[in-house]
Amino acid sequence: MKKMLFLTSRFPISSTGDGVRVLQQLEMFSQWFEITLVTFYEGEENLEKNKFAKKYCKNIYTLKLDTLFSGLRYKLDLVKLSKLGVFIPIYLFFQMPLQVKYYTSKKMLNFLQKLNDKTEFDILFVNLIRMAEYGKHLNIPFKVLDYTDAISYNYFLRKRYEKNILWKIYLLFEQTKIESYEKNILQYYDIGTVISERDRNWILKDNKVDERKIKVIPNYIKCKNKFERTPEKGMIVFVGRMNSPPNIDAAIWFAKEIFPKVKEKVPYAKFYIVGADPTEEIRALHNGNDIIVTGFVEDPKEYLKKAQVFVAPIRFGAGLQNKVLEAMSVGVPIVASKVVWEGVGKSVKEEYEEEMVRHIIRLLTKSITEVDYNSYLQIFSKKKVRKLWKMTLCRTFF
């Protein structure tokens, strides 16, 4: 088998966000390549994490992240310092975006160069621009950069809703740096991949990138012909990792601006915020009555099966929201923002507060218990996604 070097910035154990994509990639790629996985760990290494990856990887190497910014993270709160204006002068000194600088390590580069000299890899696969710098310095015949999503688009939307002026300045500079980096880094790679057409269009928008070099390959979702749902009256569910800025903003905005208006018409409505690592702001929303913050749950789908409505009120973010595909797969009616629908390839008009409220009230009171999305989800089938990856990665070798 041909040999693949797979780089990712953190160990692929998460069932949400970019973790889903990496796990799917490892599963599929292991059928065509002998995979060597190299990643960072922060804090104390958890060797238990290696068990899953061993199923798909021939070799696994983990290096402790010891860059300047990673060290400062554990000593100082960089977000708070930025909002106070302390961090910004230091940040402006660097040309590279923080998303990349944070993970740029001489120790890692030396390790990868020695590993490649020893192994002579046939293909390099890099997950996210965070690790893209290493590809510039590795002599490997075929290189693929999986952007996953256009991070600069996330920052472009995020700064609209930031109230702290100093943090808004940081977001503006970081967006500019990332946008430039996303375009320039592709010259060192043979192919770039993104998760949605919107992200591809954003990277291509200034005609500075060869459009033939960027392919759209989504995540896959398992579809069922028969839904096993037992909706509970008035149950509204939002699912996601609750320390992620887009999810934090969405949960707070919905709880404070949308949900009270729904309650006026549907007094029995309850809002469930489901997901690991809720921040202090998210935990403060929990009242044990009509707003419930669950924290980590073993299987979020159990909440989706009971939901009368699934909401995805994301106001900023990029890529494809896996949570929406999961909700579609169990047939729960969905009310989501324009940002979310565009990520799954649906063109919709802007969703305003009043429209969201109206849609949710209609779904809660008209007893619409399920929606069959299976015909639409066929474009996200495992068979189709597997074919796209095989055409992108394997035609060079087979």
pLDDT single digits (tens) 315-335: 887 766 778 888 888 888 899
Cα separation of 217 and 308, whole Å?
31
Look at residue 88 and tell me whether its pLDDT is greater than 70.
no
Residue 75, pLDDT score: 42
Domain span at residue 146? 2-219+381-394
Q: Which of 13-17, 27-31, 186-190, 356-360 has the lowest mean pLDDT?
A: 13-17
211 and 75 inside one domain: yes
- Answer left, alpha or beta for residue 317, where phi above 0 means left and psi between -120 and 50 means alpha: left
227 pLDDT band (50/70/90 cuts)? low
Look at residue 204 and tell me whether its pLDDT is greater than 90.
yes
Residue 355, pLDDT score: 85
69 and 215 inside one domain: yes
241 and 203 inside one domain: no
Number of folded domains that form the chain: 2
211 and 330 inside one domain: no
Residue 7, pLDDT score: 97
Residue 115 falls within a domain, yes or no?
yes
Nearest to 194 by CA among 182, 207, 177, 208: 182
343 pLDDT band (50/70/90 cuts)? confident
Q: pLDDT tens across 268-298, in order?
A: 999 999 998 899 999 999 998 999 999 999 8
Q: Which of 7-21, 90-104, 236-250, 297-311 has the lowest mean pLDDT?
A: 7-21
Distances (CA, A) of 114 to 101, 104, 109, 139, 144: 22, 17, 9, 11, 20
Residue 179 falls within a domain, yes or no?
yes
Q: Which of 23-27, 129-133, 367-371 has the lowest mean pLDDT?
A: 367-371
pLDDT, mean over the chain? 85
Residue 116, pLDDT score: 97
Residue 320, pLDDT score: 64
CB atoms within 10 A of CB 229: 15
Nearest to 146 by CA among 308, 258, 12, 252: 12
Q: Are 217 and 195 in contact (CB under 8 A)?
A: yes
51 pLDDT band (50/70/90 cuts)? low
- Here the CATH number for the domain that contains residue 90 is 3.40.50.2000
Residue 76, pLDDT score: 44
Distances (CA, A) of 50 to 11, 37, 43, 116, 304: 8, 10, 16, 21, 30
Residue 19 falls within a domain, yes or no?
yes
Residue that is written with structure tokens 């209609």 in the block: 362
320 and 388 inside one domain: no
Which token pair is 216?
A: 């759209």
Residue 111, pLDDT score: 97
Q: pLDDT tens across 139-198, in order?
A: 999 999 999 999 999 899 888 888 888 888 888 889 999 999 999 999 999 999 999 898
Residue 59 falls within a domain, yes or no?
yes
Bridge partners of residue 238, in order along the sequence: 273
